[in-house]
Amino acid sequence: MMCSEAQTTVAAGGRAKGYARSVRYRDRSEAGSRLADALVTAAVVGPDERALVLGVPRGGVPVAAVVAEQLDADLDVLVAHKLGAPGNPEYAIGAVAEDGTTILDEAVVRQYGIPDDYIEREIRDQRLDVERRAQSLRGGRPAIPVGGRICVVVDDGVATGATLEASLRLLLSAGAERIIAAIPVGPPETIRRLSKIVDAVVCPVQPQTFFAVGGWYERFDQVPDAEVIEILERFRTE
């Protein structure tokens, strides 16, 4: 697969500045390190600003941990979950975040004639699951408040971006001072769409041909909840 000269930073409104060349990451640790370097180069977080890095569970948290370490930032999780289509829960028709913020792909809903009562039930079920998961991952501790904070939202990659979009809109409604989406790899059209709702998107690798996030990593193991909990506990006690 060929990789374009990927836009490193897309500011709000879709203006791009800078680029980096890359093909694949060795693992999530390397992705986090290179993503942190890209954030510094893009100067979206000032040297005297203490950001709050928010990892998207589960795969985004190991990436976010490296970013937080290199930026000397706080770390927490930002939990959302996709809304599955009737009979095909793996096919996303939207997403819901832990505060109830919901994103729906209206075109898909209309195309398949998905009834309102199914959507309402799916939102209710997934929101309950998201709330339980957020509490479990944080060990029962409250979320770090995002109001007035510079928030850097990190995932290990993005495809359609529906779940990440729900997470970003959660921060908008919660009063974050500035929101930066930081993603090691994602398709250009998704990056452009996300850039319209946040202050900046940092994405070092934006391949024109994109099939799956894992294809851009040499090692892309599943991340267990226990690893996420351990990472968060380590940052809370440092």
pLDDT per position as a tens digit, 81-90: 889 999 998 8
Q: What is the mean pLDDT of residues 48-67?
A: 96
| Span 21-41, pLDDT tens digits | 446 899 999 999 999 999 999
Residue pair 166/139 in contact (Cβ under 8 Å)? The answer is: no
What pTM did the predictor assign? Answer: 0.84
Q: What is the mean pLDDT of residues 128-132?
A: 93
Backbone angles phi, psi at 128, to 5 degrees: -60, -40
pLDDT of 23 = 65
Q: Return the top range by mean pLDDT from 133-137, 159-163, 179-183.
A: 179-183
Distance CA 184, CA 166 (A): 19
Cis check: omega of the bond before 26, within 30 degrees of 0: no
pLDDT of 237 = 73
Higher pLDDT, 210 or 119: 119
Q: What is the mean pLDDT of residues 140-167?
A: 92
The mean-pLDDT minimum among 38-42, 178-182, 209-213, 216-220 falls in 209-213
Q: What is the mean pLDDT of the chain?
A: 88
pLDDT at 175 over 80: yes
pLDDT at 13 over 90: no
pLDDT of 2 = 29
Q: Pick from 177, 161, 172, 195: which is nearest to 60 by CA? A: 161
209 class by beta-carbon count within 10 Å (0-12 exposed, 13-18 middle, 19+ buried): exposed
Residue pair 188/90 in contact (Cβ under 8 Å)? The answer is: no
Q: Give percent above pLDDT 70 in the chain.
A: 90
pLDDT of 163 = 83
pLDDT at 10 over 80: no
Distance CA 54, CA 171 (A): 10
| Span 59-79, pLDDT tens digits | 999 999 999 999 999 999 999
pLDDT of 47 = 87
pLDDT of 238 = 65
Q: What is the dihedral of CA 87, 79, 169, 95, to 10 degrees?
A: 0
